[in-house]
Amino acid sequence: MSRLVKIGTRGSKLALWQAYHVEELLQKEGLSTEIVIIDTKGDQILDVSIAKIGSKGVFTQELEDQLLDGRIDIAVHSAKDMQSNLPEGFEIIAFTKREKENDVLVSHDKSVSLKEEIVLGTSSTRRVSTLKHFYPHVKTVEVRGNLQTRIRKMEEGLCDALLLAYAGVHRMEYDHMIVGELDLDEFTPAVGQGSVAIEVAEKLNPEVKAMIAAACNHRETSLRLRAERAYLRVLEGGCSIPVFALANLDSDQVSLKGGIVSLDGRERISIEVKGSADEPEKLGQELADKVFAVGGRAILDQIKTTLNK
């Protein structure tokens, strides 16, 4: 009889897509699975911005509680929702193969463009700050909830279009509503965007950990995300801090491009570093050092001061 792996997940359609995807990977390796749906603070509080709730553990705390007491074996998250420093006793053992990383514009109106004076719905400080920098004529409105809720709010007239990650839109089969794919140099994505992270309690049986990692971890994605997350860790970036990073792998070399943008969009730092794929975390530290050296620390301090008011 194979080991039963209990998979903890949030209950949105997108979160369930991720859980079923991981379940399929595990079952291919002969593991039995059970999906356990868990409500998180980020799902319950929809009328307050993530920045005001507090970005640490908004979508993960309740899942981690159940990992710790053994009610679930693994927690499945969007990698971009994972805080840079996990609480003591937890680790990420796998990142699934990454989807296309771009942000996209989603609307029923095919004429929508960032060149026009439009209203965009987004809950991301990174996207809002980036728009203020490159497209200051575009207005934004806070819109939270799952993808279906956001689309409904748009259809009710809250905004002309939504600014979302391609991965979620594609996985929910709303490709027909994509009216624009945004440039990665301007809209460099959130760390981890497009991949699914698998978190466990460190105390989980090592053999079980190894089986899960072997079934789910995509080597190239893992190398890229280790570099990105090392950068995020130095900046202590959560969902409310407008930092960005994207790593790419070319044979044994990793290129990592990332930076930070001020909340008002006036200042934006973007730097690229390259190094060995053997030490992706070292590259993340190098990028952070360079960003700080040209004013990134002052921008970060100002952001934290503003958000803590």
Q: Residue 52: its pLDDT value, please?
A: 45
What mean pLDDT do residues 199-204 have?
A: 96
81 is catalytic: yes
Q: How confident is the model at residue 238 (pLDDT cuts 50, 70, 90)?
A: low
CA triple 259-180-134, angle to 5 deg? 40
Considering the candidates 81, 183, 250, 301, report the single residue annotated as catalytic.
Answer: 81
Quickly tell me which residue has 């050092």 as its tokens: 289
Q: Residue 236: its pLDDT value, please?
A: 78
Say how far apart CA 138 and CA 114 lie, in whole Å.
Answer: 7
Look up the CATH number of domain 233-307.
3.30.160.40
Question: Average pLDDT, whole number, for the chain?
Answer: 92
Side chain identity, residue 249? L
Side chain identity, residue 5? V
Q: In what order do the strands lie in the sheet with 103-106?
A: 139-142, 119-122, 161-165, 103-106, 178-181
Contact between 86 and 202 (Cβ < 8 Å): no
Where exactly does CATH 3.40.190.10 map onto the chain? 4-98+195-217, 103-181
Q: Residue 55: its pLDDT value, please?
A: 47
Taking domain 103-181, whether its CATH number is 3.40.190.10 is answered by: yes
Contact between 300 and 260 (Cβ < 8 Å): yes
Is the pLDDT at 96 greater than 80? The verdict is yes
Look up the CATH number of domain 4-98+195-217.
3.40.190.10
What mean pLDDT do residues 7-22 have?
A: 95
Is the pLDDT at 45 greater than 70? The verdict is no
Greater confidence (88 vs 48) lies with 88
Q: Residue 1: its pLDDT value, please?
A: 41
Nearest to 9 by CA among 80, 71, 105, 77: 77
Which residues on neighbouring strands pair with residue 4, listed in sequence order?
32
Is the pLDDT at 37 greater than 50? The verdict is yes
Contact between 282 and 275 (Cβ < 8 Å): yes
Where exactly does CATH 3.30.160.40 map onto the chain? 233-307
